Structure 1
């Protein structure tokens, strides 16, 4: 029987109404007769590509089990996952899936494994362009606990929708190992996430329906420069800071390395003006969004790494793009916090023209009043003796991306009252 829940991501699916009707589980936040689901972890989907290093997206999978470890920032008594075939060209068959509490490496905690179902069935086919949710699993999770999602893909998937830069390790095995407790069969690894775009929870002590935060942006939100498998991206640090202050809430990371506000690229996702509606405005339980994006618009026309240079973007075009994001967020009842762009001196974006644009844009963020609030990430990580440059103690080494200490400084710059 077709699921009776309402579809939550019709716009995201980008398929016909008939195709969407095939989705076995609805993408609904909550109804008057159901539980309030809250997003606990998220990653923005991307089309298959490999400019930043090898991954499994372009070849896809065939008789493989993929095991992925994510850390949630909200807890609950039941859990469900979101899977996406947004950029697939053919239907995606998931032969089976499990969820468990994470163990060491590719292992899971004994006794925590739950077999997932999709509208009551163990297998599911996701239409090309589609996204769906699993049925709820009776797996309780705590905030800052790690969850392991395992997918068995018996047939050839074709190129895979994925998230390129995860700062986390995913694992692959040949054959069906979805129920393995140990990670011994998972002899291959990758620093990307595949098909998995969300983890949601319900129940538990946190019953508020709308107190989540989405951090939206590019590589600096995505966590480039942070330590692998350590969860030191600035959104992670923000979630920990909120919890330590007695204000726990989910913080969702919707950054994509290289992403731009105005331009689509072949390797860094659809432009923010497109994906904001799909990635941010459909998240359940969210109240606030922090927007940090624009440095790739400014610098992308002056470099040809890792792909061809993108069209020039003026400060006025960038501002117009941000005003559109603000309007769309407000129309959904979200509060929007605007962030200044961090320093680039000494990086491959370092030119006088780019610095002039960055300064002009940051001045607009600070003084225009367009945003509901402002966080000055620029000043939070800049070297006081050389404000155009990241403080050496905060520099990951490329003059552009912060290290763990820099991301901690960014998280501390946010006014928790504004959230």
Structure 2
């Protein structure tokens, strides 16, 4: 990774791994349930910036859609329990969750929620289930467009440990805010199974996340350090092409590098498959220049953002594009979009690592015009000095014999998305000290 002045720093400062306290024995009925349920406000979307919390895991919310086949977002839920497994990048002694109704058309009623240590499939570790509250109430109503956090709960968790968040939705929710490409299995059961230890009742599965947009941790180390990393982009950041339930996206691999170096760090993935910098796309989220404030700047303790986005701006104008074509984006317009993101980050004191766009030869985006724009944009990334540092993911994953194509060993098979080995190579290319 090249810095603004062309230097590469290699020194490593080791931080001691936090020692987690023993998990307290708190039964599922230890918290009283007030008669009046808590109600969140839309302003809660930015309540996660307090110094006591740092991001353990995140996913960017999307509007309900099903461009590649059925999922649960368009119909929503009614008398369903949804169990979702995520891996946190850094640990702590307390935890809380973030829930989003950003794209809901009506208020969302959460009847109850739990957090637990994940076991195999839809099961959780015995004795680890903790009931969550929202303003000391077991239930919560999130207005349309709103986001809310649970109260913090004692829940010692280690870096790279998988946790399970379970939501019980008693009444009809209507279409659900979700994250399309989870790369992980979510589970659904009929009825209230939020405290189940086994996964027996969870007979339905999906590879999307629903309502859950964050897991935050505190304790175990100084939460006031602004050393969190957000990866922002499209499907390559989202991890499309990596193995399901394996946590092999490049941000996952980056988190593993921090842990191996003895300094676990908050690494949050805010990629959305299909997303563009400059155009909204019905199935792929709001344009990057609009969602950046909501998804990145609302995260606590962020010091660096890795910005890699633009392939869909370039390729989305093809007539056969999923969901229909979007307006053609010139290189100048894409550059201005990136400059807008850089300005937004710098206004909050956040460092920006820019990335080149990875190869498209042989893919559904491969046309002479698209390749010319990709190359022109990459040249700007490498030479403009607009970022605080640059990582050349194009060179990292391309075939040395044909720089327009992904190296076969790194190709997931569609010639645009890396596979597990490609994502690992991308993470290895990042200089931990620059982050």
Deviation at 1:246, TM superposition (A): 2.6
Which residue among 187, 190, 200 is the counterpart of 2:206? 190
Contact 1:329 1:335 in 2 (8 A): yes
CA displacement, residues 156-210 of structure 1 (integer Å, 9 cap, x when unaligned): 0000000000000000000000000000000000000000000000001354531
Deviation at 1:53, TM superposition (A): 2.5
- Residues in 1 aligned to 2:308 and 2:253: alpha-carbon distance in whole angstroms: 16
Deviation at 1:22, TM superposition (A): 8.0
1:30 lines up with 2:46 in the alignment:
no
Which residue among 248, 265, 273 is the counterpart of 1:257? 273
1:37-76 map, 5 Å: 37-76=53-92
- Residues in 2 aligned to 1:23 and 1:208: alpha-carbon distance in whole angstroms: 22
Deviation at 1:298, TM superposition (A): 0.3
Which residue among 148, 151, 156 is the counterpart of 1:132? 148
The aligned residue for residue 315 of structure 2 is 299
- Residues in 2 aligned to 1:389 and 1:90: alpha-carbon distance in whole angstroms: 46
Contact 2:109 2:140 in 1 (8 A): yes
- Residues in 1 aligned to 2:429 and 2:287: alpha-carbon distance in whole angstroms: 26
Kindly report structure 1 stretches of 4+ aligned residues shifted beyond 3 Å.
Answer: 19-26, 205-208
CA displacement, residues 33-79 of structure 1 (integer Å, 9 cap, x when unaligned): xxx10011000000000002221000000000000000000100000
1:137-286 map, 5 Å: 137-205=153-221, 207-286=223-302
1:116 lines up with 2:136 in the alignment:
no
- Residues in 1 aligned to 2:45 and 2:114: alpha-carbon distance in whole angstroms: 16
- Residues in 2 aligned to 1:216 and 1:410: alpha-carbon distance in whole angstroms: 14
- Residues in 1 aligned to 2:103 and 2:123: alpha-carbon distance in whole angstroms: 29
CA displacement, residues 366-386 of structure 1 (integer Å, 9 cap, x when unaligned): 000000000000000000000
In structure 2, runs of 5+ residues without a counterpart are 1-38
1:327-338 map, 5 Å: 327-338=343-354
TM normalised by structure 1 equals 0.93
In structure 1, runs of 5+ residues without a counterpart are 1-18
Contact 1:68 1:169 in 2 (8 A): yes
- Count the aligned residue pairs: 397
The aligned residue for residue 362 of structure 1 is 378
Deviation at 1:247, TM superposition (A): 3.0
- Residues in 2 aligned to 1:255 and 1:207: alpha-carbon distance in whole angstroms: 24
RMSD between superposed Cα atoms in Å: 1.4
Deviation at 1:30, TM superposition (A): 2.2
SS of 2:156's equivalent?
coil
1:79-90 map, 5 Å: 79-90=95-106
The aligned residue for residue 310 of structure 1 is 326
Deviation at 1:226, TM superposition (A): 0.2
Change (3 A) 1:21 1:168: closer
1:101 lines up with 2:128 in the alignment:
no
Greater relative contact order, per chain length (Cα 8 Å cut-off, separation 6+)? 2
